[in-house]
Amino acid sequence: MAEVRLEGIVKDYGGFRAIHDVDLDVADGEFVVLVGPSGCGKSTLLRMIAGLEEISGGRLLISERFVNEVEPRDRDVAMVFQDYALYPQMTIAENIGFGLRMRDWKKSDIERKVLECARILQIEPLLERRPAQLSGGQRQRAAMGRAIVRDPSVFLFDEPLSNLDAKLRVEMRTQIKRLHAMLGTTTIYVTHDQTEAMTLADRVVVLDAGRVVQQGHPLELYDRPNCRFVGEFIGSPQMNILDAVVDRNERQTVLRFGSTSVPTADLPLRTGAHVDVGIRPEHIYWTSVDDGLLTPKVDVYEPLGSDTMAICDLEGQEVTARLDPKVRIKPAERIGLGFDASSLHFFDPQDGVRIDPV
């Protein structure tokens, strides 16, 4: 078991700074997910922890040991890669046992340990096959077997599910979660998939352009994104962002969306200022045109069975609403949409920083 601590970690590739001053504490047994768009530095960060990439600046500690210069094999971490990296000429049993053979384990001990891992991962019947004779999901489990066989202090996963089809991805996600509950090993998991991040993580760390923008429990990020980037990244379907103008009449503050005004809590912004208003599709409900706070036109609707997505046009701004599937709507129809004022998020249109009502 182990904690992992990153103190001011920096990565430069020549003149390009891929990671800027990242601080991160991963507690013993914690499951931390690093999430962010392509190129934000997730793999770079993970590879530095694994020892596969040199650290340009800052300190890396595993179980309070300073390991910046320690060889990968001496860090007591095991990494699972996106492409599995299994040896094609070896059987699955040989692949899983490889790390133990390198450490001069006894043959009988290796066999026992490989079998134990294969049982946990339910790939016992596949042990004598070669990787080419396995499905994607089975290969994925074999790669996990190779990681867990050594009982490492830390698991590092780099998008382990991204080569699997959607159904298998969900199954494997559940299996990884079970595995963590069973073994309790400190885990750092990289993905660009926010659903994977939300479902697996004790704590989600959102990265953008080599910096940590926010970290917290999945629901903390969902309920209180500290910036527009996190608001849009976390949650599916994506949060709507609408441009509004702050206005005040004698009784209250209102948000003007084109010709429509919606009452709001007061904001620390001057009258006439623009603000980005965030509202999640699932926080919008259908109502009559007379009762609607917003009355856009339906552009496209998608009946999903469990709910219906209505993609609407609000005077040139797109609004997606997740509606009750019993609601019958048609394209080009004008509908009423309601929401609770407390479910709105406000962001500065310039720098995207969250603005709280006063």
Ligand X SMILES: Nc1ncnc2c1ncn2[C@@H]1O[C@H](COP(=O)(O)OP(=O)(O)OP(=O)(O)O)[C@@H](O)[C@H]1O
Smallest gap from residue 56 Cβ to ligand X (A): 12
Q: Which residues contact 137 (CB under 8 A, 6 or more apart)?
A: 164, 168, 171, 172
With binding defined as CB under 6 A, does residue 117 bind ligand X? no
| 44 versus 264: smaller Cβ distance to ligand X | 44
With binding defined as CB under 5 A, does residue 44 bind Mg ion? no
With binding defined as CB under 6 A, does residue 54 bind ligand X? no
Q: How many CB atoms lie within 10 A of CB 53?
A: 18
Pairing type for strands 317-323 and 308-314 reads antiparallel
Q: Which ranges of 184-333 would DSSP assign to H, the alpha helix?
A: 194-200, 218-223, 228-233
Smallest gap from residue 60 Cβ to ligand X (A): 16
With binding defined as CB under 6 A, does residue 42 bind ligand X? yes
Helix (H) or strand (E) holding 186: strand 186-191
With binding defined as CB under 6 A, does residue 43 bind ligand X? yes
Residues 191-250 that bind ligand X (CB under 6 A): 192
Among 6, 26, 44, 346, binds ligand X (CB under 6 A): 44
Name the DSSP class of 181: H
Which stretch, 31-39, 139-147, 194-202, 304-312, contacts ligand X (CB under 6 A)? Answer: 31-39
With binding defined as CB under 5 A, does residue 43 bind Mg ion? yes
Smallest gap from residue 210 Cβ to Mg ion (A): 13
Smallest gap from residue 302 Cβ to ligand X (A): 27
Among 6, 26, 40, 142, binds ligand X (CB under 6 A): 40
For residue 103, the SS3 value is coil
| Separation in Å, CA 114 to CA 96, 97, 151 | 6, 6, 12
| 43 versus 264: smaller Cβ distance to Mg ion | 43
Report the C-alpha dihedral over residues 99, 105, 110, 113, rounded to 10 degrees.
-80
With binding defined as CB under 5 A, does residue 191 bind Mg ion? no
Among 4, 9, 18, 179, binds ligand X (CB under 6 A): 18
Smallest gap from residue 85 Cβ to Mg ion (A): 14
Smallest gap from residue 209 Cβ to ligand X (A): 8
Smallest gap from residue 322 Cβ to Mg ion (A): 30
Name the DSSP class of 238: P
Q: Is the peptide bond before 331 cis (omega within 30 degrees of 0)?
A: no
183 class by beta-carbon count within 10 Å (0-12 exposed, 13-18 middle, 19+ buried): middle
| 157 versus 222: smaller Cβ distance to Mg ion | 157
CA distance 49 to 158: 12
Q: Which residues bind ligand X (CB under 6 A)?
A: 13, 16, 18, 36, 38-44, 192
